[in-house]
C-alpha cells in the first residue's frame, strides 16, 4: 500500500480546511525546516495540541510527560525546538540545561499556568502549613518554573494519582487545576487534597449538556475525557485519560468511533494516525497552542529565537521536583 501524501493526510483533519496550495506551501517550509534542523543540529518536539502541519515535521509528538522525558534524554542534538507552550519549553530547559531550548512564538503561554503566580502559591502554602504541618505542594506540570521550584513534586495528567500515592504526606496543596485535583482526590481518598482554584479555560468550556447531546445522537461512540474537564463532564466518560492515554486507547480498542473531549489538536492527530477510525467533532481550541505557525518554526531555527532561560536558583529546585516525579513513575 502506498504512503498517503501530506495533502491526503491533512484532508482528514477537522479543525482546518487545507487547500492544495496551503499544502504546497507547507512542503516548501518543511524542506526549509529540515535543512535548518541539520544546520543547527536540532530536534523538534511537539505537543499533541499543535497545528497538524507542525506535528508532521516534528521528531517527536507527545503529551507533557512524554515531552519532558524526551527533553531530558536529548544528548546529541544541540538545540531543542519546543513546539509547545512556554511552561513546556521551560521544563525542557530545567531538565536539560546544557541544550539551547527555543520556543518559536512567545505568544504561546498558558492561562492555567498563569493562574497560579509563585508568590501566591508560596503564601497559601505557608498559611496552610500552620494548620497542616506535613503539607506537601504538588504541582501539575502546567505551572511556571518558579512554581515548580517551590513544589515537593510535579505530576502530569498521566500519572497524578500514582505520584500522589508515593508521598508520605497526608495533606496536599494541589496546584493549579481544581478539576484534576478533584479527579485525583476521588482516586486517593486517604489523602486530603486541597485544590488551588484554577482551571483551563479550554476544558472548562465543555458542558455535560453538550456531551449528553452528542451521546444521544450517537450512542455507539466511545467518549474519552481529559481530567482537566469539569467533574460533571468526566462523569459521562467511558474513560478519563491523559492525551497519551487517549492515543493508546483509540489505537488499541475495537471501537471505531470516538469523541475525544480535549483540545482539538488531539482529534486531528488521531485522524491522521488512525485513518480507519472516526473522531467525532466535539473538542475545543486553545488559542495558545494554535498561535505558532510553520513560518514561526522556520524563523526560530533560522534566527535562533526565542531562547528560553531559567535562572539556576529556580532551575535547580524545579529540576529536583521534576526528577522526583520521574523516579516515582519509573
User: And the C-alpha cell for 281?
Assistant: 467533532
Binding status of residue 111 toward ligand SF4 by CB under 6 A: yes
Binding status of residue 268 toward ligand SF4 by CB under 6 A: no
Binding status of residue 221 toward ligand SF4 by CB under 6 A: no
Site string for ligand SF4, 125-164 (x = CB under 6 A): -----------------x----------------------
Query: Any idea of the CA torsion for 144, 146, 151, 156, to the nearest 10 degrees?
Result: 20
Q: How far is CA 113 from CA 298, 302, 307, in A?
A: 27, 29, 19
Instruction: Give the Cα separation of 161 and 326 in Å (integer).
Output: 14
Choose which of 80, 163, 202, 247 interacts with ligand SF4 (CB under 6 A): 202
Rg (C-alpha) for the chain, rounded Å, is 20
Instruction: Give the Cα separation of 305 and 106 in Å (integer).
Output: 9
71-109 burial, b at 16+ Cβ within 10 Å, e below that, comes to bbebeebebbbbbbbbbbbbbbbbbbeebbbbbbbeebb
Shortest distance, CB of residue 185 to ligand SF4, whole angstroms? Answer: 19
Binding footprint of ligand SF4, residue count (CB under 6 A):
12
Instruction: Give the Cα separation of 78 and 74 in Å (integer).
Output: 9
Stretch that binds ligand SF4, among 33-41, 120-128, 195-203, 310-318 (CB under 6 A): 195-203
Q: How many CB atoms lie within 10 A of CB 120?
A: 14
Stretch that binds ligand SF4, among 28-36, 208-216, 273-281, 285-293 (CB under 6 A): 285-293
Stretch that binds ligand SF4, among 12-20, 35-43, 108-116, 298-306 (CB under 6 A): 108-116
How far out from the chain centre does Cα 7 lie?
Answer: 26
Choose which of 10, 29, 46, 110 interacts with ligand SF4 (CB under 6 A): 110
The verdict on whether omega for the bond into residue 306 sits within 30 degrees of 0, i.e. cis, is yes
In terms of DSSP H, where are the helices of 220-305?
A: 231-234, 243-252, 264-273, 287-290, 294-303
Pick the closer one to ligand SF4 by CB: 147 or 167.
147
Shortest distance, CB of residue 289 to ligand SF4, whole angstroms? Answer: 5
Pick the closer one to ligand SF4 by CB: 135 or 246.
246
Binding status of residue 85 toward ligand SF4 by CB under 6 A: yes
Task: Tell the residue number behind the cell numbers 513544589, with chain if given.
Answer: 151
102, β-bridge pairs:
81, 307
Q: Which long-range contacts (CB under 8 A, 24 or more apart) does 16-24 make?
A: 16/51, 16/52, 18/53
Stretch that binds ligand SF4, among 66-74, 123-131, 196-204, 242-250 (CB under 6 A): 196-204
Stretch that binds ligand SF4, among 34-42, 109-117, 290-298, 302-310 (CB under 6 A): 109-117
DSSP E strand boundaries for 229-289? 239-240, 257-261, 278-280
Pick the closer one to ligand SF4 by CB: 111 or 192.
111
Binding status of residue 206 toward ligand SF4 by CB under 6 A: no
Stretch that binds ligand SF4, among 37-45, 251-259, 284-292, 301-309 (CB under 6 A): 284-292
Shortest distance, CB of residue 310 to ligand SF4, whole angstroms? Answer: 19
Choose which of 289, 294, 300, 321 interacts with ligand SF4 (CB under 6 A): 289
Residues at the interface with ligand SF4 (CB under 6 A):
85, 110-112, 142, 200-202, 263, 286, 288-289
Amino acid at each position: 500500500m502506498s504512503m498517503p501524501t501530506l495533502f491526503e493526510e491533512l484532508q482528514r483533519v477537522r479543525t482546518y480546511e487545507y487547500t492544495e496550495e496551503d499544502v504546497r506551501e507547507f512542503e516548501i517550509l518543511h524542506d526549509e525546516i529540515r535543512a535548518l534542523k541539520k544546520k543547527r543540529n536540532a530536534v523538534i518536539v511537539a505537543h499533541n495540541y499543535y497545528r497538524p502541519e507542525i506535528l508532521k515535521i516534528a521528531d517527536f509528538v507527545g503529551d507533557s510527560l512524554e515531552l519532558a522525558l524526551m527533553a531530558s534524554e536529548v544528548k546529541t542534538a544541540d538545540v531543542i525546538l519546543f513546539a509547545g507552550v512556554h511552561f513546556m519549553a521551560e521544563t525542557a530547559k530545567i531538565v536539560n540545561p546544557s541544550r539551547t531550548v527555543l520556543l518559536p512564538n512567545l505568544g504561546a503561554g498558558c492561562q492555567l499556568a498563569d493562574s497560579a503566580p509563585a508568590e501566591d502559591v508560596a503564601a497559601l502554602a505557608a498559611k496552610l502549613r500552620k494548620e497542616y504541618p506535613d503539607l506537601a505542594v504538588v504541582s501539575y506540570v502546567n505551572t511556571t518554573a518558579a512554581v515548580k521550584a517551590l513544589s515537593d513534586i510535579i505530576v502530569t495528567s498521566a500519572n497524578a494519582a500514582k505520584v500522589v500515592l508515593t508521598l508520605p504526606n497526608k495533606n496536599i496543596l494541589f496546584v493549579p487545576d481544581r478539576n484534576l485535583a478533584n479527579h485525583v482526590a476521588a482516586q486517593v481518598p486517604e489523602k486530603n487534597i486541597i485544590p488551588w482554584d484554577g482551571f483551563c479555560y479550554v476544558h472548562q468550556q465543555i458542558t455535560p449538556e453538550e456531551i449528553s447531546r452528542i451521546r444521544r445522537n450517537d450512542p455507539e461512540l466511545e467518549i474519552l475525557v481529559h481530567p482537566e474537564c469539569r467533574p460533571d463532564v468526566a462523569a459521562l466518560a467511558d474513560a478519563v485519560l491523559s492525551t497519551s492515554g487517549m492515543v493508546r486507547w483509540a489505537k488499541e480498542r475495537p471501537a471505531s468511533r470516538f469523541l475525544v473531549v480535549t483540545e482539538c489538536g488531539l482529534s486531528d492527530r488521531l485522524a491522521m494516525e488512525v485513518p480507519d477510525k472516526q473522531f467525532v467533532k466535539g473538542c475545543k481550541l486553545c488559542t495558545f497552542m494554535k498561535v505558532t505557525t510553520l513560518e514561526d518554526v522556520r524563523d526560530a531555527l533560522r534566527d535562533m529565537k526565542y531562547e528560553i532561560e531559567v535562572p539556576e536558583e529556580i532551575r535547580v529546585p524545579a529540576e529536583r521536583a521534576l526528577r522526583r516525579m520521574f523516579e516515582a513513575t519509573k
